[in-house]
Amino acid sequence: MNRPTYERPAIVRHQMGLMNKFGRMDTVKPLTHVDGVAIDALVAEHGSPLFVFSQRTLINRYRELRDAFTRRLPRVRLAWSYKTNYLEAVCRTFHREGAWAEVVSPFEFQKAVRSGVSPDRIHFNGPFKPDLALAEAITGGAILHIDNFDEIGRIDRVAEQVGKWARVALRVNLAIDGLTAWSRFGVNLESGQAREAIARIVASDRLELLGLHTHIGTFILDANAHGMAARKLARFANEIRAEHGIKLSFLDLGGGFASPNTLKGTYLLGEQASPSFARYADAIADGLGELDYPTKELPTLVLETGRALVDDAGYLVSTVHATKRLPGGERALVMDAGVNLLFTSFWYDHAVVPAQETRGAPEPTVLYGPLCMNIDVLRESAKLPPLAAGERVVFRNVGAYNVTQWMQFIATRPAVVMIGTDGRVARIRRAEDVGDLTSHEGVPEWLS
């Protein structure tokens, strides 16, 4: 007979702040299925912890973003930001929808090519592009986003060696009221550095200037910040046209749109605070209104949106390994997934809900991971009903930056599955085993 697990009664202090001004509170409604597929069945087949991706959500978000911008602007290109999630099935889903690739390292460049992207549909960002990678990119016709003056000289030289023109854009950093500038990437606009860089590029016989790029930061909750960046790029493009007679073919505003996640320490839930794609589109289109170009020749707007496209398509299923009462009375759970898998739990309060029907009143619960480290805390306080060992929870909005930044610390990484638009389930990354790791190692002959 299945007897309910005994839960020792606890007196829990009532807390203010369950509701915010919209009357919403963190929900504890269980999530038993993803896109109609039972989570129990997924775990039975692929184990726990388990990352699950909804292809339907990926496609819906992509189309929502594209449509919000094409409503306002004639030419828009989405370049999938590989660092956000470079699982091949995820990348291919976006490429099938028409996305180009945005990569920031030779590794990512190769990954994009393996995912079937033609090099001339790759925007190559990043501060570190060794000569070999440059040669491959220039030969294939990729667009190199120049980060610094040394790189201009290097691209010039490598282009000469491979006997081809290099297609380039200049990455600029700029000041936006209320934002800390990401001034380490690109050259600065306000100081005049960017103007000098353009003059140097234009003087070269080997560089074809196609565009300007900026990435003002990430998870930016104020759409007007992107509007201001668009305005500044537009004015700079006007200047380049007036001074050098060059009409740019694109302006790239990078990434930075917020996802439905909730940043730690914020008052509103992410789904309430994060602007819609339409709001960002309006602000950016208004900023680009400054472009002094013939309508038919307006540059393409390139977006490298990462987290806002993929976060809510990703789920992490995790099983309760043990339950505890802490000395202060709080309930705590030891989970089989920790910060090794959910890197983003360092800055988000990820929504977490039970994966099965539950009984009992929710109370603040600390979620610990399995690592023998004090920092391994997935949520400092999540409202959850009583959960027993063997029961599961689902972390939501985990699609961005986790399956790229996860780490192999004292544990191997679990499987990842995708639920296709037709409900089929495919394993898109198998669980690692210890052999995957030891196969990279060698033992000196004197120790074997």
Q: Is 305 in the site for ligand PLP (CB under 6 A)?
A: yes
Nearer to ligand PLP, 97 or 432 (CB): 97
Residues within window 383-412 making contact with ligand PLP, judged by CB under 6 A: 400
Say if CB 58 and CB 93 are below 8 A apart.
Answer: yes
Binder among 236, 257, 315, 368 for ligand PLP (CB under 6 A) = 257
Helix axes 149-162, 193-203, angle to 10 degrees: 10
State the amino acid at position 53 in one-letter form. Answer: F
Residue nearest to ligand PLP (CB): 255
Interface characters, 100-129, with ligand PLP (x: CB under 6 A): --x----------------------x----
Q: Which is nearer to ligand PLP, 84 or 402 (CB)?
A: 84
Q: Kindly report the number of other CB atoms within 10 A of residue 154's CB atom.
A: 17
Considering only the stretches 221-229, 234-242, 255-263, 266-274, report the one whose residues sit in contact with ligand PLP under the rule CB under 6 A.
255-263
Closer of 84 and 318 to ligand PLP (Cβ): 84
Residue type, 346: F
> Minimum distance from CB of 59 to ligand PLP (Å)?
18
Specify the amino acid at residue 331: R
**CB neighbours of residue 32 within 10 Å:** 15
Q: Does 84 bind ligand PLP (CB under 6 A)?
A: yes
Which part of the chain contacts ligand PLP (CB under 6 A), choosing from 45-53, 252-260, 293-301, 342-350? Answer: 252-260
Cα-flanking dihedrals φ and ψ of residue 414, to 5°?
-85, 180
Question: Which range of residues in 55-63, 105-113, 195-203, 304-312 is near ligand PLP by CB under 6 A?
Answer: 304-312
* Closer residue to ligand PLP in complex, CB, 124/368: 124
Compute the distance between CA of residue 269 and CA of residue 312 in angstroms, rounded to an integer.
Answer: 14
Specify whether the CB–CB gap between 154 and 128 falls below 8 A: no
Residue 156 phi/psi, 5-degree rounding, is -55, -50
Stretch that binds ligand PLP, among 12-20, 251-259, 285-293, 411-419 (CB under 6 A): 251-259
Q: Is 344 in the site for ligand PLP (CB under 6 A)?
A: no
Q: Which stretch binds ligand PLP (CB under 6 A): 58-66, 106-114, 302-310, 315-323?
A: 302-310
304 binds ligand PLP (CB under 6 A): yes
Which residues in the 39-68 window bind ligand PLP by CB under 6 A? none
Return all residues near 157 (Cβ < 8 A) that are at least 6 apart: none
Task: For residues 53 and 124, give the distance between their C-alpha atoms in angstroms, rounded to a whole number.
Answer: 26
Q: Rounded distance, CA 367 to CA 382, Å?
A: 8
Of the residues 227, 254, 362, 386, which one makes contact with ligand PLP according to CB under 6 A: 254
Question: Which of positions 307-336 make contact with ligand PLP (CB under 6 A)?
Answer: 307-308
| Binding region for ligand PLP (CB under 6 A) out of 250-258, 365-373, 390-398, 421-429 | 250-258
What percent of the residues of the chain are helix, what percent strand, and what percent coil, each to the nearest 5?
35, 25, 45
Return the residue of 48, 55, 57, 81 that touches ligand PLP, per CB under 6 A: 81
Closest CB to ligand PLP among residues 78, 237:
78
Amino acid at 352: V
Return the residue of 215, 232, 350, 383 that touches ligand PLP, per CB under 6 A. 215
Q: What is the DSSP string of 53-121?
A: EEHHHHHHHHHHHHHHHHTT-S-EEEEEEGGG---HHHHHHHHHTT-EEEESSHHHHHHHHHTT--GGG
Kindly report the CA angle at 425 between 420 and 428, in degrees rounded to 5? 90
Q: How far is the CB of 64 from ligand PLP (least distance, A)?
A: 15
Binding site for ligand PLP (CB under 6 A): 81, 84, 102, 125, 215, 218, 254-257, 304-308, 400
